[in-house]
Amino acid sequence: MNNHNMSPEQNKYLRKVYKERKVILLYQIIILAVLIITWEICSVYGIIDSFIFSSPSRIVKTFIEMLMDGSLLYHIWVTLYETIISFALGSVLGIIIAIILWWNKKISKILEPYLIVFNSLPKTALAPIFIVWLGHNKRSIIITALTVAIVVTIINVFNGFVNVDKEKVKLIYTFNGKKIDVLKKVIIPANFSNIISTMKVNIGLSFIGVIIGEFIAGRAGLGQLIVYGSQVLKMDWVMMSIIILALLATGLYELIVFAEKKVNKLNE
């Protein structure tokens, strides 16, 4: 922790921050351990019905069995594939459309009410339509997830674009810069944090969209495993799938955070 280039006060502050992080992590682990142990004890002693609520030991047993026969990895891969594709499409297309709206104010004014309506529309209502149009396949699931994430991207990124410091924009024009120069040298750099924050939200929204699609049209994937498990009362499958989804969403979120830190270091 010590750094010879830092003052004693800075080193002291860094040690304090590091210690606080360790304490917070310790408390988080303790809370999780208490919840798991309590869940298991309640299941063993019949306080809760393990057939309905499952238990950590049953979930671990189910996880190992499905991992060994390869079925779990296949379901995880299907959900991850659909999520990553919908996330990538939603982020890229959302940013491109936001740029178009910023570039042409007339288009943004024309499309604004439609974006608001589409954003407020429950996406579960659209999923059956996509299934009728595209069939019970991965395309309909990916499109469903795309509709969940893309509008949020467009609105958040566009609002960030239009709220950039006007003086910086004027400065570019003062030096005979063009609109493309404003976009590259002011708008995009000023909105880097906003774009990353939107992507952090999008990864969760993409998971939600994929699970909605798999509930309705999935032939494989964790969403389909949850639906089928609830139908045949295999709650071990349901609880295991939910836990895996939480871990996958956290992992992808942390990947975005890691990429953000790397880019920030390069820009320093």
**Helix, strand, coil percentages for the chain (3-state, nearest 5):** 85, 0, 15
Rounded to an integer, what distance in angstroms lies between the CA atom of residue 207 and that of residue 213? 10
The pLDDT of residue 216 is above 90: no
Kindly report, residue by residue over 112-151, the tens digit of the pLDDT. Answer: 888 888 888 777 777 778 888 877 778 888 888 888 888 8
- Amino acid symbol at 224: Q
* Residue 88 exposure: Cα atoms within 13 Å on the Cβ side: 6
**Overall pTM surpassing 0.85 (yes/no):** no
Kindly report, residue by residue over 62-102, the tens digit of the pLDDT. Answer: 999 998 988 899 999 999 999 999 999 999 999 999 999 98
Rounded to an integer, what distance in angstroms lies between the CA atom of residue 208 and that of residue 202? 10
Contact 118, 152 (CB under 8 A): no
List the domain boundaries for the chain.
8-48, 55-267
Q: Where does 55-267 sit in CATH, by number?
A: 1.10.3720.10
Q: Length of the chain in residues, anyone?
A: 268
Rounded to an integer, what distance in angstroms lies between the CA atom of residue 171 and that of residue 111? 29
Going from the C-alpha of 224 to that of each of 14, 206, 218, 219, the distances in angstroms are: 47, 16, 5, 6
